[in-house]
Amino acid sequence: MAGGQALERIAGDRGTAAGAIEAGSAGIADAIDELLGISSCGTADDLRTWLRRFARGLGFYGCRYIHLGHVLSGMKLEDSPPPVRFLSTSARDDFGPDGDNWALCDPVVSRIKLSFTPFPWSTGERREMSETQRAWLAQERALGVGAGLAVPVQDYAAGPAYLSFYGVEEETAIRLMEERAPELAFVGAQFHALAKTLLPVAGTGHQALLTQREIDCLRLAALGWTISQSSKELGVAHETVVFHLRKVSRKFGTNSKLRAVALAVSAGLIHI
């Protein structure tokens, strides 16, 4: 695919990213000024428009926001659920990762939950990558994406998230990371906070509606209370608490009470 065509598909209109590679850290001040306008976003579309403008101000073609949510310790990537929330500045991502396992495709995912500062990535293949990851990166390269910058957000209540800016040369991403990491981390945290209020929860199970009693039982379980302690606190029978927790687990498509708790917290259905 020709370079201009690739940019057109990524950015949505021809020439928007032309010459932006050199913007890098030089344009960060203007881009950070854009942060002042994020509070005016009232819908998911507003947030997408803001993110596109911010990404291009930094010299990138676009950006993806991925809220991974909580993943239980020891869980294999192939067993990971779809992201809790997802937003892309590119129309080609409108289908989102809901039908696919995003964790299997993007090699960046394995680093996110252990990272606290922005880091660069490239679409070059490495020996340890899976065939699924290689195929996904090959698709990105075909669209003109050579490298990018990941901005992790560690949300201990709702699970990790990250912004993944894409399109620039790796050297430019490295320079931007080295010179403006604190500002980018701040932007990531602010974006994530607003995205949790404006973006719907995606994926199977996350949209289950819980009754107030189910929420009560699940919240106490999240706090580490035993079944006996919960039944006494709520003034119900031991079997009633067990019944509600099993019902919640079925709604989330899991047999694990811990898994149900993690999903509910990630989706913002309970707060601890």
CB 15: neighbour CB atoms within 10 A?
Answer: 10
Residues 216 and 225 sit within 8 Å (Cβ to Cβ): no
Residues 169 and 221 in one domain: no
Residues 19 and 123 in one domain: yes
Q: Quick check: is 155 in a domain?
A: yes
What is the residue-wise DSSP string for 128-146? T--HHHHHHHHHHHHTT--
pTM over the 0.85 mark: no
Band of the pLDDT at 8, cuts 50, 70, 90? very low
Q: Quick check: is 207 in a domain?
A: no
Taking alpha carbons only, the member of 185, 188, 248 closest to residue 218 is 248
Q: Which residues contact 160 (CB under 8 A, 6 or more apart)?
A: 68, 69, 112, 113, 152, 153, 154
Mean pLDDT score, 14-39: 54
Residues 59 and 133 in one domain: yes
Residues 133 and 245 in one domain: no
Residues 35 and 108 in one domain: yes
Residues 188 and 262 in one domain: no
Residues 170 and 261 in one domain: no
Answer whether residue 100 shows pLDDT above 60. Answer: no
CA distance 229 to 220: 9
pLDDT tens-digit readout, 167-176:
978 888 898 8
Which whole-number Å values give the CA distances from 221 to 98, 159, 211, 264, in the listed order?
28, 18, 15, 11
* Residue keyed to tokens 């926001």: 65
Mean pLDDT score, 244-254: 84
Residues 178 and 86 in one domain: yes
Check residues 187 and 2 and name the one with the higher pLDDT.
187
Among the candidates 150, 175, 198, a domain finishes at 198
Among the candidates 146, 170, 198, a domain finishes at 198
Query: Domain total for the chain?
Result: 2
Residues 192 and 218 in one domain: no
Work out whether the CA dihedral 186, 187, 188, 191 comes out positive or negative. Answer: positive
CATH number, residue 89: 3.30.450.80
Residues 192 and 249 in one domain: no
CA distance 123 to 127: 13
Among the candidates 174, 198, 222, a domain finishes at 198
pLDDT tens-digit readout, 170-205:
888 898 899 899 999 999 999 999 999 999 876 544
CATH number, residue 255: 1.10.10.10
Domain with 233 in it: 212-266
Residues 146 and 256 in one domain: no
pLDDT tens-digit readout, 74-83:
455 565 667 8
Residues 118 and 250 in one domain: no
What is the residue-wise DSSP string for 179-248? HHHHHHHHHHHHHHHHHHHHSPP-STTTTPPPPHHHHHHHHHHHTT--HHHHHHHHTS-HHHHHHHHHHH
What's the token pair of residue 164? 């993944």
